[in-house]
Amino acid sequence: MAGGGVAVKLSFLNQKGGAGKTTLAVHVAAVLAATGAKVLLLDADSQGSALDWSVARQKAPAFTVVGLPKPTVHKELPRLSQDYDHVVIDGPPRVAEITRSVIMASDLIAIPVQPSPYDVWAVKDVVELIKEARVYKELLKAVFVINRKIVNTAIGRDVVEALATYELGVLPTAVCQRVAFAESAARGSTVIEDAPTSIGAEEIRNLVKELTRLFNEQEGRDYSEARARKVAVGGRMGQ
């Protein structure tokens, strides 16, 4: 995912509390760190859940966790991210100023959402902030990630249809409700480390693959658009 010496910034955002931002941010950071990459997990939530997770940890750190629950994330991140291949940001619930700052700092935004109508309605706030930010960051990618899906159930049609009204994609991989995610977190660990062959670990690895693909598609589009512009300019200059 790393983009030529510049860290890729992936954020988990949803102003609704308890959607799974911290759980997915920590697990995705663990998958990225397991590849040998240098990963920074930025905790932008004043509750400090990701920091608490790292304090509860008894094993050697798999990645660095830094707290910055301020609306200056977008200003400070270029300096903080210098030595890293990936930055994963765990966003706060509610606070719109910090969410805005995290959006401006991000290359890719994943919005965890539980597959219930109440949760789907509640993503409206963060989707609006992303749409506002696209005025400045036209190519900013954002996608829904279904979290806490009940194993062996289909996502309800009402949920799929409601998500479609937001005009953002939904990743094919859903992360299911699994007690192992909460249990491993309580120990400052992850299912990636505790149960690497489990279905839960596989779900998170698939999630990382899909996010990586999405990021690279964006890179490809930037590249081809830049090339198209260059060709057009070159063509005019050559006339």
| Residue closer to ligand ATP, measured from CB, 150 or 226 | 150
Strand, helix or coil at 47?
coil
CB neighbours of 131 closer than 8 A, spacing ≥ 6?
A: none
Q: Name beta bridge partners: 10.
A: 88, 108
Q: Name the binder of 156 from ligand ATP, Mg ion, none, CB < 5-8 A by kind.
A: none
Query: Which two tokens mark 69?
Result: 């629950």
Kindly tell me which of 9 and 178 has the beta carbon lying closer to ligand ATP. Answer: 178
Q: Amino acid identity, residue 96?
A: A
Q: Which of 181, 179, 203, 144 is nearest to 53 (CA)?
A: 181
Which residue, 133 or 185, has its beta carbon nearer to ligand ATP? 185
Establish if 178 lies at the interface with ligand ATP (CB under 6 A): yes
Told to check if 123 binds ligand ATP by CB under 6 A, we report no
For ligand ATP, the closer of residues 19 and 42 by Cβ is 19
Torsion angles phi and psi, residue 152, rounded to 5 = 65, 25
By CB under 5 A, residue 49 contacts Mg ion? yes
Q: Least distance in Å: CB of 199 to ligand ATP?
A: 11
Position of minimal CB gap to Mg ion? 22
Return the amino acid letter for 225: E
> From CA 168, how far away is CA 149, in angstroms rounded?
19
When binding is defined by CB under 5 A, the residue of 11, 14, 15, 22 that contacts Mg ion is 22
Nearest-angstrom CA–CA distance, 185 and 27: 9
Query: Which of 9, 16, 20, 21 is close enough to bind Mg ion by CB under 5 A?
Result: 21
**Would residue 116 be called left, alpha or beta, if left means φ above 0 and alpha means ψ between -120 and 50 degrees?**
beta
Six-digit token string for 58: 């008894």
Instruction: State the nearest-atom distance from the C-beta of 16 to ligand ATP, in Å.
Output: 7
141 bridge partner residues: 108
Taking the complex as a whole, how short is the minimal distance between the CB of residue 163 and Mg ion, in angstroms? 21
Using the rule CB under 6 A, give the single segment among 33-41, 45-53, 63-71, 102-110 that binds ligand ATP.
45-53
Smaller CB separation from ligand ATP, 85 or 207: 207
Binding stretches for ligand ATP (CB under 6 A): 17-23, 45, 47, 49, 93, 147-148, 175, 177-178, 181-182, 185
